[in-house]
Structure 1
Amino acid sequence: MLHSTTSGFFKRHYEITEDDRPLVTLEHGGREKSSFTLDGVPYSIARDGGKRLLLTERGRRTGTATRDGGRRWSIDSDAGRFELVKPSMWKDGWELHRDGTSLGTISKNGAFSKGATADLPADIPLPVRLFAFYIVHVLWQRAASAAAAGGGGG
């Protein structure tokens, strides 16, 4: 299980742990970009237009997330195709699906918490789980920014 703790205001940092051991820090900067190193391998996440995010490993694209609608994103990766689905417009939680079946959840730890949990299967490669976790953090940040500006989000 992955856990994140958020810090920072203008530039957000997500400290990610797995089973209580530090794993990576994802920095959410301008233009929704981040990078991390996992077992000595560099990865980066970057926005490609308003409806796509890309995951690259050593400069090679290994994942693409595309917005299919306000509450659905498809993730194509080396590990297969997944969907991020927000089952309720009233709650912040997201589910990761494969072939229409829920595999796990990504949710905030509470309304006033700076933490979140990704309960995703370990057989999904860690870079893909981190990519999905980061996407949901981006979507939460977009929604918070839109709410602060008085509009919709997602």
Structure 2
Amino acid sequence: MTDRGREITVWDSSMWKSGGEFELDGRRFQVRSNVWGNKYTMVDDAEAVVASADRVGRRRWTVEAAGQTYHFRRKSIWRDEEELVLGDTRVGSVRKTSFWRGDVVVELPGLATALQLFVFGVVISMWDAQASAGGS
């Protein structure tokens, strides 16, 4: 993953379940899901919960971190894009920019980098699960 052209981390997907892990500024984070893939948590090296996501895969879902709740919604059933909303106003998004290469742009202003990476991991895991379900 890059930020303004500079690599900041590598997302390491889990092979056996939804989620993955990454290292940022010398700290390792794990992103884990429940068995249904509709709840995710991010824990740090000390196994402390840093963030959680609920109702993932639904039209509207939430992320909680540091006492804040962030609201997301699926832009359209036909597009790979999840929007960060404040009320009904779009203030950011995670979206695929290329179907063939799998490029994803994360624009989540105001969210800490680790939290943006958590949201990215949740969205990527959700898209992977949806693609697997569609192919079965």
Q: Compute the TM-score of the two structures, normalised by the length of structure 2.
A: 0.88
1:134 equivalent in structure 2: 121
Shift of 1:34: 1.4
User: What code does the residue aligned with 1:19 have?
Assistant: R
**Runs of 4 or more above 4 Å deviation:** none
Determine helix, strand or coil for the equivalent of 1:136. helix
Shift of 1:114: 2.0
1:42 equivalent in structure 2: 28
2:55 equivalent in structure 1: 67
Q: Give aligned-pair identity as a percent.
A: 23
Deviations 1:52-102 (A, max 9, x none): 100112311011101166222211111611122102111111101244432
Q: Which runs of 5+ in 1 are unaligned?
A: 1-15, 150-154
Determine helix, strand or coil for the equivalent of 2:8. strand
Answer 1 or 2: which has greater strand percent: 1
Determine helix, strand or coil for the equivalent of 1:96. strand
User: What code does the residue aligned with 1:23 have?
Assistant: I
Change (3 A) 1:119 1:79: farther
Of 70-79 and 56-65, more deviation after overlay is shown by 70-79
Determine helix, strand or coil for the equivalent of 2:114. helix
Shift of 1:103: 1.8
Q: Which runs of 5+ in 2 are unaligned?
A: none
Determine helix, strand or coil for the equivalent of 1:25. coil
Q: Compute the TM-score of the two structures, normalised by the length of structure 1.
A: 0.79
Q: How well do the aligned residues superpose, as a CA RMSD in angstroms?
A: 1.7
Change (3 A) 1:115 1:33: same
User: What code does the residue aligned with 1:87 have?
Assistant: K
Structure 1 residues 14-53: aligned runs within 5 Å = 16-29=1-14, 30-50=16-36, 51-53=38-40
Change (3 A) 1:99 1:49: farther
**How many residues of Structure 1 are paired with residues of Structure 2 in the alignment?**
133
Correspondence 1:147 to 2:134? yes
